[in-house]
Structure 1
C-alpha cells in the first residue's frame, strides 16, 4: 500500500522533510501541494515532481488521493489547518514548533483525540538512531544521578522581513524556530518537565533574535538552553552530566551531516556510533510505522503540549514584548 501525502505549504522544509525522503521509496508518494497562491504552488510542483496542485488548503485536505497531510506552514497557521485536516479524517504530520502556544497545542491534540486521527510533530532529530542510543545510555543509569545539563542551537539567519523566522505575526523567533530543539532534547533525555527559573532575550521588533533560559528539572537537575539567529557561528550541542559520567552530542539536530557523541563514564571516554538513515528518512519510517500500527508515536500529544508550555514560560520570564 502506498501512503499518499499532500503538502500544505509550498515550503523549503517540505522539500527536505518530505519530498527528498519520499523520492527513494515505493511505498510513499507526494501527490499534491497547495499554497496561498496557486501560481506559487504550480511553480513549486513542477521541479519537485508533484503531480497535482490544489486550489487552496481546504481543497487539498478534501482530495481523495491524499492519505496524510503534511503541514509545513509558518507556526501561525499550524493549529487551524491541522485541526481542519484532522476533522476531514486525515492524519497529520505537523512541523515544529507545534503551535503558537500551549493553548493551541492543546486544541490540536484534543482534535486528534476527538477524530481518532494520528497527529505527529515533525521533530525530525528525535527519530534518529543517535537519540535512541542516547536515551538507552541515560536510562541504563550509566551516568549516575543526573545533576546538570545544557543544550544550544544557533544558526546565523540574515534578517529579512519575508523570512517567517523574523516575523512576529507568523510566530517567528529564535526560541520558536531553534530553541524548541534544545528544550525538547533536554526534556526527552531527562524524562521530566522543567521549571523556568529565568530567561533573557534579545528582541528586534517583537521577535527574539536570541534567547537563553535557566531551568530546574525534578531531582535537582540544573539546566540551561540557548538559541540564536545572530551568532558568530552555527552550533548544536547537548550535554548531560551525572554523578558517574557525562554525555555530549555535537550536532544532535542532523547527525547525517556530521555528529560526534561521546560518553565519559568514571573517567573513561567512549565514542558512540552515530550512523543511521537521515533524520528525515527516520521520521518518515516512524510515520509509516505509526499509521500501520507497528509503533506508538513518540512526538505529539502530551509531549507537544508540554514543549509549548515550556516555551510559553520562557517567553513570560524573558518579558517578551
Structure 2
C-alpha cells in the first residue's frame, strides 16, 4: 500500500543508517508529517539500531539493510549511511519499488553516481532525492534573483574560502578522511559546488592542488591509520559562462580571514558569511546587508519535499540525483587534477 496525494494512506518509511543528519533531521521531521510512519531501522550494529528505535519509537529493528529495502511494508527508504553504501542501498531500494531519500554526498565517485541516476531514471514512478547542500538554502533564491536582475553586471569570479582552524593531530581518523568510505569527496567541496550550480551553472575545466597535512592518525586499538583525503585544498575552475571559480578549503590553517563566499561582477559584489547575504554596487563605500524576502527564504524542507513529491503535490528541487551527479563529476575532476597534476575538463568524465 502506498500513500495517495491527500495522504489518506500511510507512507511507511524504512531507515538504513541512522547517522547524525538522520537522527537530527530525517527521522523526527518525517515523523512530524501527518500520515507518515517510520516502521523499521537498520544500523551498523543491532545495538545501535536498537538505541535509535528506542529513541524514536520505531517498531522494528532490521538485522541487515536488505531486510529494509526488500520489506513489503516499506514504501520509502532513507539512506543515512556513509557514502560507501549510498549506491548499493539506493539502487536496491529503487529496484524493489521504494522511493529513496539519500544522504549527501550522493556517492563515492562518478561511476556510482551514474548508476544511481540510471536506477532512478528506470523508475520514473518513484521519487529519488539526495539531501541538498544546506549552507545557502535560505539565500539561494535571492542570490539567483539578484544575478538575473543584473545586480552584479557581468559575473567575473566566485571565490569560496572556508577554513576550519589548525588541525588536531591527536584526533582519530573519521570516515570523511578515508577514500574507502568517502570516495572522491573532499571536505565541503561538493557542498559549495552544489550552491554554485544553483546560482550560475557548471564548470567545464578545473585545476587543483591538495595536501594531507596529517597523513596518519591514531587508531582506536593502537597504532595508526592512514589518511588519504586532503585536508587542504585549492581549486581554480572555469565556469561555462566564462567566469572563474576559486575555492580554498582547509582543515589545517587557523587565524585566517573570515570564512566567506564572494560573487564579484563588473558592477557589483555579493558576499555570504555566517548565513548573512550582503552586497554593494559600483559607487558604494562598503557592503551592506541585503534583506531576504520571506517568500525567498525557503530554507530546509527536505523531508516535506520528499513526502510532497511522493504524494504528487510537488517535484524534487533540492536535490535530484542528476544534480548530485553534476557535483560528483566536478569533485572527481578535482581529485583527478590533484592526482595527475594537470587541468582536467569535466567532459573527460
TM range (shorter): 0.7 to 0.9
- Residue of structure 2 equivalent to 1:291: 310
RMSD of aligned residue pairs (Cα, Å): 2.7
- Residue of structure 1 equivalent to 2:55: 47
How far 1:208 sits from its partner (Å)? 1.5
Whether the 8 Å CA contact 2:208–2:233 is kept in 1: the answer is no
Q: 1:102 to 1:131 in 2, by over 3 A?
A: same
- Residue of structure 2 equivalent to 1:64: 72
Three-state SS of the structure 2 residue aligned to 1:42 is helix
| Residue number among 115, 120, 129 corresponding to 1:120 in the alignment | 129
- Residue of structure 2 equivalent to 1:209: 231
Q: 1:110 to 1:155 in 2, by over 3 A?
A: same
4+ aligned runs moved over 6 Å, structure 1: 274-278
How far 1:318 sits from its partner (Å)? 1.3
| Residue number among 178, 183, 206 corresponding to 1:167 in the alignment | 178
- Residue of structure 1 equivalent to 2:40: 32
Whether the 8 Å CA contact 1:206–1:320 is kept in 2: the answer is no
- Alignment partners' CA distance in 1, 2:76 and 2:39: 10
Whether the 8 Å CA contact 2:109–2:183 is kept in 1: the answer is no
- Residue of structure 2 equivalent to 1:239: 262
How many residues align? The count is: 311
Asked if 1:250 corresponds to 2:308, the answer is no
How far 1:320 sits from its partner (Å)? 8.0
Q: 1:4 to 1:150 in 2, by over 3 A?
A: farther
> Which entry has the higher C-alpha Rg, 1 or 2?
2
Q: 1:293 to 1:264 in 2, by over 3 A?
A: farther
| Residue number among 89, 98, 116 corresponding to 1:108 in the alignment | 116
- Residue of structure 2 equivalent to 1:256: none
Asked if 1:302 corresponds to 2:285, the answer is no
Whether the 8 Å CA contact 1:182–1:226 is kept in 2: the answer is no
Three-state SS of the structure 1 residue aligned to 2:290 is strand
Whether the 8 Å CA contact 2:128–2:320 is kept in 1: the answer is yes
- Residue of structure 2 equivalent to 1:133: 142
- Residue of structure 1 equivalent to 2:192: 182
Asked if 1:225 corresponds to 2:237, the answer is no
Q: 1:6 to 1:128 in 2, by over 3 A?
A: same
- Alignment partners' CA distance in 2, 1:40 and 1:278: 34
Whether the 8 Å CA contact 1:199–1:212 is kept in 2: the answer is yes
Three-state SS of the structure 2 residue aligned to 1:239 is strand
- List runs of 5+ in structure 2 lacking aligned partners: 1-6, 216-226, 342-349
Q: Give TM-score scaled by structure 2 length.
A: 0.80
More helix by share: 1
How far 1:166 sits from its partner (Å)? 2.3
How far 1:270 sits from its partner (Å)? 4.4
How far 1:127 sits from its partner (Å)? 8.2
* 1:70-109 alignment, distance < 5 Å: 70-109=78-117
Q: 1:176 to 1:138 in 2, by over 3 A?
A: same
- List runs of 5+ in structure 1 lacking aligned partners: 252-258
How far 1:124 sits from its partner (Å)? 4.6
| Residue number among 291, 309, 313 corresponding to 1:272 in the alignment | 291
